[in-house]
Structure 1
Amino acid sequence: MKKFGIGQSAARFEDRRFLTGAGSYLDDENLPGQAVGVFLRSPYAHARLGGIDVSAALAGDGVFGVFTGPDLRAAGVGDLPCMADAPNADGSPCYKPPRPALAIGRVRHVGEPVALIVAETRARALDAAEAIFVEYDELPSVVETGAAMNGDAPRLWDEAPGNRCFDWYAGDAEAAAAALDGAAHRVELELVNNRLAPNSMEPRGAIASFEDGRLVLRVSCQGVHYIKRILLSGIFDCAEEDIRVICKDVGGGFGAKIFCYPEYVAALHAARTLGRPVKWVAERGESFLSDSHGRDHVTRLEAGFDNEFRFTGLRVSTIANLGSSLSPFSPFVATSAGVPMLSGCYRVPAAHVRVQGVFTNTAPVDAYRGAGRPEAIYAIERLMDFAGRRLGVSPGEFRRRNLIGAAEMPFRTVLGSTYDSGEFQQILDLALERSDRDGFESRRIAALQRGKLRGYGFASYIERCSGGAPEQARLIVGADGHIDLHIGTMSNGQGHETAFRQILCEYLEVDPERITVVQGDTDIIPRGGGTAGSRSVPVGGAAIAACARKLIRVAAGKAAELLEAAVEDIRFEAGRYHIAGTDRGLSFAEVAFRAAPQGGPAFDEIDEFAPGQATYPNGVHVVEVEIDRGTGVLDLVRYTVVDDFGQVINPDLLLGQVHGGIAQGLGQALLEDCHYDPQSGQLLTASFMDYAMPRADDCPDTDFSLRLAPCKTNPLGIKGAGEAGAIGAPPAIMNAVADALDADHIDMPATPRSIWKHLRKLAP
């Protein structure tokens, strides 16, 4: 029987806890003396704030306190910082407007928090909120991405003329212009990448308390350390040891739970002021209004090709909607996170990219599953189909002429990425074969006979992930051989407790039931990078592997002492230390038992992994759709995926990540859209009655296979996988929709209404 370790489809250890109701989510927690917080939010997209009268609210039964922006400012609570930058072409920094936890002077989007009410119960807090009088002087608003820089658009910030936060460039403008001017063929495409709400199953929430002179935040998040760093970045004037952030089980994050939000800051101030814990959990309507949104780009692409239909140059101009203010990562997501992927899997000899970030009267935009990479791959993959159609070349042949070959690796792209490995052409051929491309025309004819339009589309994707900050692992071995694995990542549904056990057991060959994964507490784990950017297993797993190897070396010294042998003669195999060439040995647990001091651990080792370069997972998604010509209703009838994720830790967990990503990708392509009314600035899709989420019956059966080229920049050969499905799915689906409709282009989401309207335009 194969040892438990890397490569096995092991069942998830954490599922026992969840399926038996033993999970511990934020709303399951309650502290003694706890009060409930409710936020009064702006009903206007843009308004000046006059007086705020809270006297009637404070007089309400069971009300402990009401807090406003001026109250927090007077108490020395600082604004929420933006931690990223997107410098302008002249080198000047982007404009970072102030972002107080509670509005001061003006509100700039519907749902912006204006006051925090703290009371005995939620009902009493809600009653008190209704008693607050706020004087609003409504102002004109702008919500549409493409209209934000118009001359007559209302300005959100005096310091940002034309509502422009930054004007950022990458690539070589002169080389791209020359390549386009000299191209034998030239195409242009404009497309919209629609705005999305993250909608994790568990809404955001926090319990703030003031314990023994320390601020303590219990929160549903994707990483406690990043939130602590934000709180220490000018918000609260205190020492690092005076803030603790704790997180237990998390019901989904998708990027939106990385950040520190205004609600957490206001709740911490209230808890410190009142001397009692304050709990706040968002209702779904609040989540729609106040969670960071994703995507929302308008992009124009110009591409040049030679007589062999090979790229000569690419020029891209994007307007990125940032919302009313800057969320911590938003300038990075709109620029450096995705722009290096705009050349996709292709040889592009010259490129230039311009990104203009704009403020609008909408919720702030930041990382959502993929964070810039879905926007880039959607743009280049729609361009490839569009250009092939215009130039009369099949999508497969058009890509083959431009795909980077495996023999060209490592390949330095024109926009600054270095692909270490990948077999793009072979993966494309395998995906087309597995999807039976040759048999599609017969399926199309059969569909027509049933009154359906059938389309076939695919997309070659690549993404950059698993780089950035180092990750640290700590292994504490008790006298009984039990191992506590401390790690700074934060599981929010991926199965980390299983994957991390597999990596550790690959080296130590111990009983996985004797391992406890510890995460989510800045007091216990002082350092960590959290979970984002598909980094947890590639970076956290590499740290665990490094720490396991270190532990084996350290324990070998103790084994040598116990076996009365030279350490160079000690071997570690099958979970045992033995003297080379003999049968004399001790199990790892025996060494731990005999090494442990009275009342202390046998071993306590720390190591880390600092990724020098990113990893580049890639693959091909192939989709077939059928569209009812009378109603515009669309069905995903076939879905094929071939992926390259390098070394696979757990195939079942990996497949779950791909399936989940596809579900979110098809949601963007076919269903989801945060739609603000252009006149009032109201979010019209602020509930599940109006915002269409994918259901189980929307998700197709998927033919999933792997063609692996181990990563050469990761010690375990792993490439990140958490975001890949959400990157590959939208362009593949939209290429299939365009094929079914025989259309040059149709924007997301391709709802039955938008398809029906397109079909009516074509009707004689």
Structure 2
Amino acid sequence: MTAPLDTAPTGIGAAVRRREDQRFLTGRGTYTDDINRPGQLHAYILRSPHAHARIRSIDTADALQAPGVVAIFTGADMAADKVGSLPCGWLIHNKDGTPMAEPPHPPLVPDVARHVGDQVAVVIAQTRNQAKDAAELILVDYEPLPSVVATAEADAPEAPQVHPQAPGNICYDWHIGDREATEAAFAQAAHVTTLDLVNNRLVPNAMEPRAYIGEYDRATDETTLWTTSQNPHVIRLLMGAFVLGIPEHKLRVVAPDVGGGFGSKIYHYAEEAIVTWAARRLGRPVKWVAERSEAFMSDAHGRDHVTRAQLALDADGHFLGLRVRTTANMGAYLSTFSTSIPTYLYATLLAGQYRTPAIYAEVKAVFTHTVPVDAYRGAGRPEACYLLERLVDMAARETGIDRVELRRRNLIPKEAMPYATPVALTYDSGDFVKNLDDALALADHAGFPARKAASARQGKLRGLGICAYIEACGIAPSNVAGALGARAGLYESAEVRFHPTGSVTVFTGSHSHGQSHETTFAQIVADRLGVPIETVEIVHGDTSKVPMGMGTYGSRSLAVGGSAIAKAMDKVVAKARRIAAHMMEAAEGDIEFKDGRFTVAGTDRSIGIADVALSAYVPHKFPLDELEPGLDEQAFYDPKNFTFPNGTQICEVEIDADTGVTRVVSFIAVDDFGRIINPMVVEGQVHGGVVQGIGQALYENCVYDPESGQLLTGSFMDYCMPRADDVPFMTVKTNEHAPCTHNPLGVKGCGEAGTIGGAACVMNAVVDALSDLGIRHLDMPATPERVWRAIRSARSVPAAAE
């Protein structure tokens, strides 16, 4: 029987309803576009229609005379103001130790446009429509130049150059692992499986487009940016210090409610700098809101790898070595964290859940005339998982070993934890075998042949896909990341303020854009301090209120941000214990704390923490020479290691052989996220992640024309997203048998897990369904046309004859 809402559990482990939903579901959220400042102007960005073109001249005379126009700025104006280049946050070194190529990334390009959608000029007007109309009057004399958009062709000798600072379009040529040991492993292999694959480019498409408002106060010389950002402190640091030269104490960045990010709102974008600079220049607020078609050609894209992978096995099917060579597309410029995605967030995960003694990976990052590529939900880990799990399935077919058995033979046993992989990571905990067994049971794996036969009787091809995934969350620690090229710390901050009346405010450097922080963080506080959850307030997203924090991405919020809150609460309890000891005239060592009350050990004397808080602010009962008034503590948490969520996913698909239409009919996810704070929130996160994995596997694909460099999938008319009726019923199970061993909450992170394994799981099922026709591999997305053509080719029926 369900407990009444007013008496339902609210602490750690309880399925507390999301407190945020009251305002979100009733339309009372405050998003950046809901904010309008007095005297506000509107910006419209004129973008390049060419993938690569020299800008000979820009004539703005007619546009400046258009109704409502206040100003028009170009790259030359920003350069004259000494506006800096948008910075990259991670320096990668080549195999020989030299630094990567790092060409400039101007907010408005002064001379050469390098992708369709590159920022050429900004029109500032009284209304957005006036700015758009005026932009059509700007005459730009472009000299179109040859372009290259295909990842595999970027470093060809004859390829057009994107930047003179990057010869051959090479950003870096990097490697990891032991090459000699890997070559030796391949030399003794009984079997080698080779797979060439493409990890398709994606457009994130959060529900809320990007939006920014810049405002300048001449009286105080203070500047404010309202932004749809996942990490406002990082934006303040990058924009203030490196682009606009504004001291941090004079720059406030506010990220109010944000309608989804999935990684695409981590970065410092050109438009943030443009509106902030323009507002300072004009002395009036300037607002810019992206249209969806504009987002397609200006938001950072995701994935876009071309890879050859080889797996060496002995005669018994044990993995001996893995060899990987990847070309990763950076796009036209280096986005904020782009360089770390195909290196330290991709290649370091190539061991997966398996005991592979030797691994060697080479990653070449290339520039192309396309939108910059950066982290998208999973950020490198889905690419690694897809590669590895497709390779394992193919190896199973080639060796004749059952794919479940092949995985089981090579899974790292829980007794081996902590386990050091050959690619720099050390897994601290996990029971991979149990996750696999649980998933097989939930999926009724033994009953699959009967279901396959039933589908065949309906004229359908049925396939089952398995994926054993692992990810690394909460990039850490800062000193190690710094040694590897990170240009920022990777800690998180928290302040816990106990008010005199017993309520608690938590200031967190993490930012919520759909992850339920206002609920789950409050649960942690209510559980630890023994206060009603209704009395806990979570504050985030405003650099003027919150201590320096690194924001939300990479499933770090709970493991890093929550741990910072836990550390701050420990300080609060420690101080409150001292106050309670004075109040009850007992020794501090005799004071116990549980369920919100301090008790003198062995007695019935106790006092509630709320009463202690009141005394802290009305300090009549303790010596001020020993204790300061107040009950407000701050903490920073820098993790000792990544956390390693892991699990097994199993799905089944049905394919209509006549049309190529693929339908996901079931999806099972068994996950180890460590300690679970709110199971309802976790399940929702898994559901959302799986849908994005399905989207990449079956529907989504960002395509550029190879000749003109034009974006061919620039709207939802051409870029297919999964709809509600494309999503199957999902069974989600979480195992808490292997909590994280190095953070105070024992949590591992869950926000990206569904995506990390989802695409590989679905594609393994698709290929399994097609395997009876002799089809060994199919690149994503498995669209109806692509599947139909593969079936026709396998049946030796020319597609043109159909």
Structure 2 length-normalised TM:
0.94
Tell me the residue number matched to 1:33. Answer: 39
Residue 514 (structure 2) aligns with: 493
User: What is the CA–CA distance in structure 1 between the aligned matches of 2:120 and 2:783, rounded to whole Å?
Assistant: 36
User: CA offset at residue 560 of structure 1?
Assistant: 2.0
Is 1:557 aligned to residue 578 of structure 2?
A: yes
1:270 alignment counterpart: 278
Corresponding residue number in structure 2 for 1:592: 613
Aligned to 2:484: none
Say if 2:149 is the partner of 1:143: yes
**Partner of residue 520, structure 1:** 541
Query: Matches of residues 126-141 of structure 1 in structure 2 within 5 Å?
Result: 126-141=132-147
Following the alignment from structure 1 to structure 2, what is the Cα–Cα distance between the partners of residues 647 and 556?
27
- The one-character-per-residue Cα deviations of 1:715-763 (angstroms, maximum 9, x if unpaired) are 2111111110000111110000001011210000001110001011022
Tell me by how many angstroms 1:337 deviates. Answer: 1.1
Q: Distance in 1 between matches of 2:511 and 2:504?
A: 19
> In structure 2, which of residues 89, 95, 102 is the aligned counterpart of residue 96 of structure 1?
102
Q: Give the residue type in structure 2 aligned to 1:490.
A: H
Give 1:237's aligned residue. 245
- Once residues 639 and 573 of structure 1 are traced to their aligned partners in structure 2, the CA distance between those partners, rounded to angstroms, is 42
Counterpart position of 1:410: 418
Shift of 1:239: 1.8
- Match of residue 173 from structure 2: 167
Task: List structure 1 segments (4+ residues) > 3 angstroms apart after TM superposition.
Answer: none
In structure 2, give the amino acid aligned to 1:704: V
Selected match of 1:70 from 76, 80, 90: 76
SS, match of residue 66 in structure 1 = strand
Superposition deviation, residue 313 in structure 1 = 1.2
Counterparts of residues 204-353 of structure 1 (less than 5 Å): 204-211=210-217, 212-353=220-361
| 1:479 paired residue among 491, 500, 509 | 500
Structure 1, residues 523-561: CA drift from partner, whole Å, max 9, x if none?
111310100110001111111111112111111222222
Matched position secondary structure for 2:224: strand
Q: Residue 50 of structure 1 aligns to which amino acid in structure 2?
A: R
What is the Cα deviation at residue 2 of structure 1? 7.3
| AA of the residue aligned to 1:258 | I
**Residue of structure 1 in register with 2:465 after alignment:** 457
- Is 1:467 the counterpart of 2:475? The answer is yes
Partner residue, 1:23:
29
Residues in 2 aligned to 1:647 and 1:149: alpha-carbon distance in whole angstroms: 46
Whole-Å separation in 2 of the counterparts to 1:238 and 1:450: 67
- Structure 2 partner of 1:700: 728
After TM superposition, give the deviation of residue 243 of structure 1 in Å: 1.2
Letter in 2 for 1:166: Y
In the alignment, what sits opposite 1:612?
640
Provide the rounded CA distance (Å) in 1 between the counterparts of 2:474 and 2:242: 29
Deviations along 1:140-193, whole A, 9 cap, x unmatched? 111111111112211111222221111001111111112112211112110000
Query: What residue is the counterpart of 2:790 in the other structure?
Result: 758
252-261 vs 567-576, greater mean Cα deviation: 567-576
Q: Which runs of 5+ in 1 are unaligned?
A: none
Aligned residues with identical type, % of pairs:
50
Q: Shift of residue 391 of structure 1? A: 1.3
Residue identity matched to 1:341 = L
Superposed, 1:348-747 pairs within 5 Å as 348-468=356-476, 469-597=490-618, 602-708=630-736, 709-742=738-771, 743-747=775-779
Q: Is the 8 A contact 2:526 2:536 kept in 1?
A: no
Q: Say whether 1:85 aligns with 2:84.
A: no
What do the CA deviations read for 1:334-377 (whole angstroms, capped 9, x no partner)? 11111111111111111111000001110000000011000001
Q: Are 2:180 and 1:180 equivalent residues in the alignment?
A: no
Q: Residues 215 and 244 of structure 1 are in contact (CA less than 8 Å); yes or no, is this contact kept in structure 2?
A: yes
Q: Number of paired residues?
A: 763
- 1:59 is aligned to 65
SS of corresponding position for 1:513: helix
Task: Tell me how far apart the structure 2 counterparts of residues 419 and 631 of structure 1 sit (CA, whole Å).
Answer: 44
Q: Is the 8 A contact 2:241 2:247 kept in 1?
A: no
Indicate the SS of the match to 2:324: strand
* Greater mean alpha carbon deviation, residues 222-231 or residues 423-432: 423-432
Q: Deviations 1:435-466 (Å, cap 9, x if unpaired)?
A: 11111111111111101000011110001112
Q: Distance in 2 between matches of 1:61 and 1:480?
A: 56
Deviation at 1:229, TM superposition (A): 1.3
**C-alpha distance after superposition, 1:109-152 (max 9, x if no partner):** 00011001110001110111011110100011111111111122
Offset of residue 601 of structure 1 = 8.3
Instruction: Describe the superposition over 1:40-93 as per-residue Cα deviations: whole angstroms up to 9, x where unpaired.
Output: 000000000111111111111211110111100101111101111221011001
Among candidates 10, 14, 32, match of residue 8 of structure 1? 14
| Structure 1 residue 579: Cα displacement | 2.4
2:752 aligned partner, one-letter code: E
Letter in 2 for 1:209: E
Cα separation, 1, equivalents of 2:165 and 2:546: 41
**Amino acid corresponding to residue 38 of structure 1 in structure 2:** Y
Alpha-carbon distance in structure 2 between the residues aligned to 1:474 and 1:86: 34
Measured in 2, the distance between the counterparts of 1:604 and 1:715 equals 20
Provide the C-alpha distance between the structure 2 equivalents of 1:496 and 1:695, rounded to a whole number of angstroms.
Answer: 26
Q: 1:328 Cα deviation (Å)?
A: 1.1
Q: Tell me, yes or no, if structure 1 residue 192 matches structure 2 residue 220.
A: no
**RMSD of the alignment, in Å?**
1.3
- Where 2:297 maps in the other structure, the secondary structure is helix
Measured at CA, do residues 35 and 2 of structure 1 come closer, stay the same or move farther in structure 2, by a change above 3 Å? Answer: closer
Distance 2:437 2:362 in 1: 33
CA distance in 2, matches of 1:570, 1:39: 63
CA contact (8 A) 1:486 1:517 kept: yes
Residue type at the aligned position of 1:147: E
Q: Which amino acid aligns with 2:352?
A: G
TM-score normalised according to structure 1 size: 0.98
2:483 equivalent in structure 1: none
2:699 alignment partner AA: L
Cα distance in structure 2, aligned partners of 1:365 and 1:333: 9
What corresponds to 2:623 in structure 1? none
SS in 1 for 2:242: coil
Q: How far apart in 1 are the matches of 2:577 and 2:735?
A: 38
Deviation at 1:3, TM superposition (A): 5.0
Question: Quick one: distance in 1 between partners of 2:570 and 2:165?
Answer: 54
- Provide the rounded CA distance (Å) in 2 between the counterparts of 1:273 and 1:497: 37
Which deviates the most, 488-497 or 335-344?
335-344
Give me the whole-angstrom Cα distance separating, in 2, the residues matched to 1:462 and 1:716.
20
Rounded to whole Å, the distance in 1 between the matches of 2:781 and 2:241 is 39
Tell me how far apart the structure 2 counterparts of residues 503 and 335 of structure 1 sit (CA, whole Å).
Answer: 34
Which letter maps to 2:496? L
Partners of 1:478 and 1:601 lie apart in 2 by 12
Q: Distance in 2 between matches of 1:752 and 1:102?
A: 41
C-alpha deviation, 1:242, in angstroms: 1.6
Is the Cα–Cα contact under 8 Å of residues 493 and 547 in structure 2 kept in the other structure? Answer: no
Give the C-alpha shift of residue 473 in structure 1: 1.1
- Secondary structure of the 1:232 match is helix
The 10-residue stretch of structure 1 (137-146 or 422-431) with the greater mean CA deviation from structure 2 = 422-431
Judge conservation of contact 1:4–1:509 (CA < 8 Å) in 2: no
Distance apart, 1:597 and its partner CA: 4.5
Partner SS state of residue 201, structure 2: strand
Say if 1:478 and 1:601, in contact at 8 Å, map to a contact too.
no
Instruction: Identify the residue that residue 3 of structure 2 maps to in structure 1.
Output: none
Is the CA contact 1:457–1:735 (under 8 Å) kept in the aligned structure 2? yes
